[in-house]
Amino acid sequence: IGFQWSLRVSNEDLWESMFDELKSYKVKHGHCNVPQKAGKLGAWVNTQRRHYFRNLSLKEGMSCRMPDERIQKLESIGFVWSGRQINDQLIWNAVFEELQSFRAKHGHCNVPKRAGKKLLGTWVDVQRRQYRMLQKGKRSFIC
């Protein structure tokens, strides 16, 4: 008759349920940066970050490690692990939007480094330098 002997939800099912909720949040808001005070999902996101950083200090095979598959699933939807990453990402996105506006207005992305556009021009220059480094097989923060 389908009687349930236990009403407890498995940790895996609970994690998957929250992950699905996070994916819905991302669709609605365009990012996974749920405020910590945003109820159950915010608390869960904060817990994932704590587990991830605790994970970095643990050795392979320890029972309390965050499974790599969870890390990969979170990263596959653009999950950001630290506040600095979030801040850097927000700044990058804001300047990129400024570049898109510049291109829409001027028809190109050759931003001059003059007053008024100095930050944008410098940012574009840095992106180009980092891309060239990547092309040469050198370390770059682009990826």
Domain boundaries, the chain: 11-80, 85-135
Q: Which residues contact 27 (CB under 8 A, 6 or more apart)?
A: none
Average pLDDT by consecutive 10-residue portion of the chain (143 residues)? 70 92 94 88 91 68 72 91 69 84 93 76 87 84 66
User: Quick one: pLDDT at residue 130?
Assistant: 84
Query: Exposure pattern of 40-68 as b/e (b: 16+ CB <10 Å)?
Result: ebeebbeebbebbeebeeeeeeeeebbee
Rounded to two decimals, the pTM is 0.54
User: Quick one: pLDDT at residue 14?
Assistant: 92
